[in-house]
Amino acid sequence: DWTMAAFKDEAIAKIREQVGDGKVICGLSGGVDSSVAAVLLHEAIGDRLTCVFVDTGLMRHGEADQVVELFREHYNIPLVAAYEEERFLSALEGVSDPETKRKTIGKLFIDVFEENARMAGGADFLAQGTLYPDVIESVSFAGGPSVTIKSHHNVGGLPERMNMKLVEPLRELFKDEVRELGRELGLPEAFVGRHPFPGPGLAIRIPGAVTKEKADILRHADRIYIEEIRNAGLYDAIWQAFAVLLPVQTVGVMGDARTYDHVLALRAVTSVDGMTADYFPFDHDFLGRVATRIINEVRGVNRVVYDVTSKPPGTIEWE
Ligand code: XMP
């Protein structure tokens, strides 16, 4: 009978077979998947693995520090941290098409991985925490053509030409299985249980062109939202919750002054595997409390709305 411990051993054997005596670079996005992949790879090939964490400037609040600490202190796995906020933000300047954003980010991730691989003496393989649902990136509608909804890759759309071969040890797993594997590998529960976070990060939660100012506003609002969800004891009942900063400004009133600021949308869904999802039925007191806090505490937002779209027909992320 199938156990996660057996899967782990098998996965390690497969990695050793694929990689031989080659070197692997593993891109860490800050999420659960790439972290589990990295720890698994480290068990399989030890110091022939170099982990690279890219701080894109598009992470959630505190995320970069958490990842660096987990790898360096908890596991003692060497980690290169590349602070590339300016580079990502300047590549995204003026880019508002969602697929162009994903591809721009995906290409830049590969550039940064390759540079760091070169500095670490070269790498033959790039490892990613791609899951089974990420593999099914095109959805076939009954009787219709196959349509790509989003360039779903761990780093948000890989370039077609890349010098390294891919290692994707989680390709057959669903999210709940990755979490179980993470526990098997000794990852702390607080880390394993975190909501999923997409490779392209906050960029796909800022419809329209991304700026540092917008990323900062969104990060602040998102932090408050998640904090309230935790305070209400709802974090584990929700598959994923996040805020989206809309490229729309509306009129409001603060004290006796007129405001003209951004609309922020809150999203929260329940799901088993991310392939279908229902919006989470928060009670109105909760939503009102979050809206009040965000509008009072986050400069630049004067209106909050709640997204009640399920998947399908919506997707979980807005882009
Ligand atoms: P959608 O928006 O397609 O998202 O309903 C389904 C799940 O996938 C996550 N997602 C991504 N994860 N790289 C990732 O690693 C990506 O490019 C990407 N795009 C979406 C999304 O957050 C949700 O959990």
Q: Is residue 197, in this structure, part of any structural domain at all?
A: no
The reply to whether ligand 1 has any atom less than 6 angstroms from the CB of 196 is yes
Percent pLDDT > 90 in the chain is 79
The answer to whether 25 and 123 have CB atoms below 8 angstroms apart is yes
Q: Which CATH number goes with the domain that contains 52?
A: 3.40.50.620
- Cα 317 to averaged position of ligand 1 atoms, centre (Å): 7
The reply to whether ligand 1 has any atom less than 6 angstroms from the CB of 195 is no
Atom 11 of ligand 1, residue of closest alpha carbon: 198
Q: 160 and 253: one domain?
A: no
The reply to whether ligand 1 has any atom less than 6 angstroms from the CB of 114 is no
Asked if the ipTM is above 0.90, the reply is: yes
Q: 187 and 219: one domain?
A: no
Q: 147 and 275: one domain?
A: no
Nearest atom in ligand 1 to 130's CA = 15
- Inter-helix orientation angle 212-231/284-297, to 10°: 140
CA separation for the pair 113, 108 (Å, rounded) = 9
The reply to whether ligand 1 has any atom less than 6 angstroms from the CB of 153 is yes
- Cα 82 to averaged position of ligand 1 atoms, centre (Å): 23
Atom 10 of ligand 1, residue of closest alpha carbon: 198
The pLDDT, as a whole number, for residue 150 is: 79
Q: Is residue 114, in this structure, part of any structural domain at all?
A: yes
Q: 158 and 254: one domain?
A: no
How many folded domains does the chain comprise?
2
pLDDT tens digit sequence for 176-188 = 999 999 999 999 9
Q: Are strands 138-140 and 146-148 parallel, antiparallel or unpaired?
A: antiparallel
Instruction: Determine which helix (DSSP H) or strand (DSSP E) holds 284, and give its type and residue range.
Output: helix 284-297
Q: 181 and 264: one domain?
A: no
- Cα 48 to averaged position of ligand 1 atoms, centre (Å): 29
The answer to whether 177 and 5 have CB atoms below 8 angstroms apart is no
- According to the annotation, is 146 in a ligand binding site? no
CA separation for the pair 209, 100 (Å, rounded) = 11
Q: Is residue 118, in this structure, part of any structural domain at all?
A: yes
139 — pLDDT class (breaks 50, 70, 90):
very low
- According to the annotation, is 34 in a ligand binding site? yes
The answer to whether 124 and 164 have CB atoms below 8 angstroms apart is yes
Domain ends where: 129, 164, 192? 192
Q: 170 and 271: one domain?
A: no
Stretch among 27-41, 83-97, 99-113, 152-166 having the lowest mean pLDDT: 152-166
Q: 220 and 181: one domain?
A: no
Expressed as residue numbers, the domain containing 233 is 211-306
Q: Is residue 280, in this structure, part of any structural domain at all?
A: yes
For 268-280, give one letter per residue: b (16+ CB within 10 A) or e. Answer: bbebeebeebebb
Domain ends where: 192, 226, 250? 192
Nearest atom in ligand 1 to 239's CA = 24
pLDDT tens digit sequence for 269-317 = 999 999 999 999 999 999 999 999 999 999 999 999 999 999 999 999 9
Mean local confidence (pLDDT), 185-210: 94
Q: 252 and 173: one domain?
A: no
Q: 169 and 218: one domain?
A: no
- Cα 255 to averaged position of ligand 1 atoms, centre (Å): 40
Q: What is the pTM of this model?
A: 0.92
Q: Is residue 135, in this structure, part of any structural domain at all?
A: yes
The reply to whether ligand 1 has any atom less than 6 angstroms from the CB of 128 is no
Q: 301 and 251: one domain?
A: yes
Q: Is residue 203, in this structure, part of any structural domain at all?
A: no
Q: 129 and 52: one domain?
A: yes
Q: Which CATH number goes with the domain that contains 265?
A: 3.30.300.10
